[in-house]
Amino acid sequence: MAGKQNPELRRRELCDAAIVLLAREGIKGVTHLRVDRKAGVPDGTASFYFRTSSALVRAVANRIADLDLADLTAAIRATKCGAGPSPAAGLARLVIQSGTGARLVRSKARYELVMPASRDAGLAAAFSHNQQQFFELHRDVVLSLCPAGTDPVLIDEKSYALLTFISGLMLALARGDRTITSAGQLETIITSIVASVPAVSHREGVSAVDR
């Protein structure tokens, strides 16, 4: 029965159902049967596509990472040709959106998996796979805010600081903190973090690139 449908589509449906369970109850809420019921598919479907719970949770992590990357790419690069909001404005808007609606559900699900991933190499791989691209997208934001010719070491340092700040903010939003709710306010803070004084900040630089 499960074979009747496009398998790739069915896998995504199952992962999307698992994301909702994960956000609501944590990793203990994600079992094959509960995913079947949540997705409204016959019992046994999730087990058919993902043999073990570990395979199921890894597939969910991959789905989250792919959706996050697609959103971030669209927010930052869509308007590179000049029209529309700046990369910083695009990033700010996306981050604020991660605090509401379906994006909040996905964001909660992601942070449920961060610490389990530190104990499961397969799960960690799902997230680290896109990590370099996330860094480069934040680097695009930094480049758009810095004068041409800024030292690349400094650009990397600012990009790392921005990525780390955004990660802290998304965690805060995921756990319910609502200190920042305006994209305009966040854009100001992003600009401020990036627009730091080069003479002070340039001493050692960020060494590792593949994080």
- List interacting residues with a copy of itself (CB under 8 A): 24-28, 108, 111-112, 114-119, 124, 157-158, 160-161, 163-169, 171-172, 174-180, 182, 184-185, 188-189, 191-193, 195-197, 200-208, 211
Q: How far is CA 145 from CA 20, 44, 55, 76, 138, in A?
A: 36, 51, 41, 13, 11
Sign of the C-alpha dihedral computed for residues 35, 67, 209 and 164 taken in this order = negative
By beta-carbon proximity to a copy of itself, the closer residue of 63 and 158 is 158
By beta-carbon proximity to a copy of itself, the closer residue of 12 and 93 is 93
By beta-carbon proximity to a copy of itself, the closer residue of 9 and 200 is 200
168 burial level (CB within 10 Å; 0-12, 13-18, 19+):
exposed
CB of 175 to a copy of itself, least distance (A): 4
By beta-carbon proximity to a copy of itself, the closer residue of 78 and 211 is 211
190 burial level (CB within 10 Å; 0-12, 13-18, 19+):
buried
CB of 165 to a copy of itself, least distance (A): 4
CB of 90 to a copy of itself, least distance (A): 18
Helix axes 101-117, 7-25, angle to 10 degrees: 80
CB of 208 to a copy of itself, least distance (A): 5
By beta-carbon proximity to a copy of itself, the closer residue of 12 and 34 is 34
In 26-52, which ranges are continuous DSSP H helix? 32-39, 45-49
CB of 36 to a copy of itself, least distance (A): 22
By beta-carbon proximity to a copy of itself, the closer residue of 5 and 52 is 52
CB distance 140 to 190 below 8 Å: no
Q: Rg of the chain over CA atoms, in angstroms?
A: 19
CB of 34 to a copy of itself, least distance (A): 16
Cα–Cα distance for residue pair 208/65, rounded to 1 Å: 21
| Short-list 87, 200, 88, 91, CA closest to 154 | 200
